Chain A
Amino acid sequence: MKLIFNYNQANTKYTAQEKDVDLPDELKRESLPLCNVNEVQIIRHYTELSRKNYGIDTNFYPLGSCTMKYNPRVNEDIAKLPGFANIHPHTPASHAQGALEVIWELEEILKEITGMDAFSLQPAAGSQSELLGVMIAKKYFAEKNEPRTKIIIPDSAHGTNPATAAMCKFQTVTIPTDKRGNMDIDEFKKAIGKDVAVVMITNPNTLGLYEENLSEIKNIAKENGALMYCDGANMNALLGISKPADQGFDMMHLNLHKTFSTPHGGGGPGGGSLGVKSFLEDYLPVPRIKKENGKFIFDSKNEKTIGKLHSFYGNFGIIVRALAYIKSWGINIEKISKIAVLNANYLLCLLKEDFDVPYDRRCAHEFVISAKKFGEKSTINIAKRIIDYGFHAPTIYFPLIVKEALMIEPTETESKETLDEYAKVLKTIIKELKEEPELVKNAPYTTPGRLDEVKAARQLNLRWIPKES
């Protein structure tokens, strides 16, 4: 394996030769040990690397909780239009009306889809949206002189929920999951009190199940003056069908890159967003984008705002793609969710007999099954073997409450044929596990072998170091 630093060629020139600068020695850089590679080789190097990578374009990629749906290419082209890609963020609003319109328009549409009263698109990703939500809750209660110190989070939640609460110095209270996969309502009742600031619920939850006790949870939370926060990471189940504000949520975030199909790019960039009910609108970060007399303007006047989260206005390029995606679906948006739910339930039915199903209910847009009956570590072995059959593995060992968990989210863009094939592959692997367990334990064979993660963490090698130093 060759690193980009291992070549010794003449670089291609992209701009003109320039004379040296006249800086005092104490401020001037002496050596710049960058690599020397020609464009031809760079194309080959990174094309070769791309071929060592699975993506939605090459392989079915049913990572649970990540919503790996097809990314329409037209949205890429649209984000690259000069009027979007080449606009400097310090352009006065008068000459960036289209950019402001895009942000404003997407906020309006997200309000319509979720039932929330106002949106901010400044958060750069889901976890920054949560951070914004928790910061708002903190400020809201501080202004009410209510010293609330706790945030209630079910044990099935994404790790970001407790991590965010802890960042803002809240104590997290973890509620166990009941036998039907809901947040345990009796334990919730014991935990709730006037010291709870926020009840954070993911709906459908990370087990792929719709929370059945939402209205009771909401009533109890409201009686105690707590805010209801919806982690909308799984909104791909509910588009056009439910509006989370109707269930009593005061705040919710949407991951634009999941639900609205912007490419995940190997781990980002994503796009966040936070929707709030009107009584929290004044806390949203500035600048807000408003429409006055047919013109779009920046508004930073708000005194109650929690401040600012992003260097500029959010991940604008992702906002453009999300808007284009929603416009392409328009009023038919509920079809996305219905087919996502159909695909998940169909694949679950195909696999039900072969795996343990921890909560025997109809699932939402994803589902969790367990390989515990095949013994410890069978999930990781299955995941690695799946790669040999040309598919990406599901999310594994999450949620933490299910032993040997496989979390599968097919999304609406996968065909029946692909789902049938995936089920067939899983059944084959189970057969292999019984008949030839070593074959599965040593997989994969079609890619590099299993990589030693313990060694990686113990003998840290985190960068290339030039030989002369």
Chain B
Amino acid sequence: MNFIPHTKEHISKMLSVVGCSTLDELVSEFKPRLSELNLDEPLSEMDLVSYMTSISEKNSPMKYFAGGGSYDHYIPAVINHLVSRGEFLTSYTPYQPEASQGVLQVLYEFQSFICLLTGMDVSNASLYDGASALAEAALLSSAHTKRKGIFVDDGLNPNYLKVLQTYCDGTELSITNSIDENTACVISQTPDFFGNIKNPQGLIEKAHQNKALFINCISDATSLAIIKTPGEFGADIVVGEGQSFGIPKSFGGPYLGYIAVKEFLTKKLPGRIVGMTTDEKGNEGFVLTLQAREQFIRRERATSNITTNQTLLALTATIYLALLGKSGLQNVARASYHRAHILQEKLKKNSFELINTNPFYNEFLVKSPKPTEKIIADLMECNILGGIDLGDNKLLISCTEKNSLQDIDSYISMVST
């Protein structure tokens, strides 16, 4: 394929303006490679599509009863059409706001949606994913409190814990077992990795008594439609994964990290923030703001090193939330909740041991009467991913509005003895 518009005549004309006789001469200053370049012959578009399609067909999309940080919600058709518009797709960070009002307004709307959903005061314009959003929140807490201890409540997504641990090792913070005068933040996930909906009140009080910040992490973002907001509970920072809002599962990425804070932490936020302002004539418009926090101005004194964010996915989430509105998002959350509870009840009747003691959202843990490897393999025969095998015959199962009652019945028929 060829996306270079020059003819041979163009190239020779341009070379003569530059004062070179060949393209090789033009790059002669670059140190040449010392070994061969072993790449294949170029593929035409038709051959490329056929090659990549054949690889894609080695994957088996299924009916998913698995969550664990990625949820199989329905994506309204219109989203792809809007997100594919070249003006959004092929633009970049809005450094020239006058030529980027579209993306800037979208990000302002995104920030507004995140605040409405979480009950917080200020959101940034997105971070990479749920795990790195949590790590950035921990760094923010340390910068704010000048402390280095990170306390993590039980039930945090183990992948997030690993990423947090990696960031802590690299930035000289430590994950501790107690909440005390060295604690920068207390992290708790609700709904947690096992789906438990927890009341964070006690932990929030304990964090605040010790002058530490409370970070509320959220598993499936659709839960925000029916669960009391972290803002109302008194969280200082809310982070999570926005993939549930119209973003394909895509084997784990690109996803959408979000972070929202109480007003007193605004200037400590990492990443891009969009603000409304006016032009010289008083017309409203949008710009990137509080840029003095950021690496391209502040360099080693920046609040974070983050540059590129996930704007196109923030656009996706914004359109998703606009389309669904209040009742649509409630229906998605309620359906996810009900289907999970129906499946759990049926599994109980089939000798599965229920482990959740708290109320749960759309995800729950069971102990299986037979080896989970066998259950997963059997279900896969019927094109169902039955959950996440956590070892010790424990299975983490998740439902969304896409898991129909018939799907639940086929699930049960495969696992019943």
Contact = CB atoms under 8 A, between A and B. Distances in A.
A19 B226 CA distance: 12
Interface in A223-252: 237-238, 240-243, 246-247
B195 interface: no
B298 A163 contact: yes
Given A57-B90, A58-B86, A16 B295 contact: no
A59 to B, nearest CB: 8
B169 A307 contact: yes
B199 A395 contact: no
Given A32-B326, A92-B376, A413 B312 contact: no
B90 A451 contact: no
Interface residues of B, number: 191
Contact of A86 (B1, B61, B107): B61
Interface stretch (A39-47, A194-202, A368-376, A425-433): A39-47
Given A15-B401, A61-B91, A125-B307, A313 B253 contact: yes
Given A78-B52, A267-B93, 14 more contacts: A11-B324, A19-B338, A21-B226, A21-B337, A27-B359, A49-B105, A52-B100, A71-B89, A84-B56, A86-B249, A311-B163, A330-B39, A450-B279, A461-B277
A32 B329 contact: yes
A459 B307 CA distance: 24
A115 interface: yes
Nearest to A345: B18
8 contacts: A12-B323, A14-B328, A16-B401, A53-B103, A58-B90, A87-B61, A210-B29, A327-B48
A112 B332 contact: no
A141 interface: no
Interface string A72-92: 101011111111111111111
A425 to B, nearest CB: 14
A27 B199 contact: yes
Interface residues of A, number: 200
B327 A332 contact: no
Nearest to A17: B331
A308 B162 contact: yes
Interface in B355-403: 359, 376, 380, 385, 388, 401
Contact of A16 (B88, B131, B306, B331): B331
Given A18-B331, A464-B112, A83 B289 contact: no
Nearest 8 pairs between A and B by C-beta? A312-B252, A83-B56, A57-B86, A265-B312, A89-B252, A53-B102, A307-B166, A98-B58
A393 B92 CA distance: 12
A372 to B, nearest CB: 20
Contacts of B78: 39, 42-43
B4 A335 contact: yes
Given A267-B103, A350-B17, A395-B95, A313 B252 contact: yes
Contacts of B315: 46, 265-266
A359 B91 CA distance: 30
B41 interface: yes
A92 to B, nearest CB: 7
Given A86-B248, A312-B253, A1 B91 contact: no
Given A317-B248, A330-B41, A460 B275 contact: yes
Contact of A49 (B102, B123, B338): B102
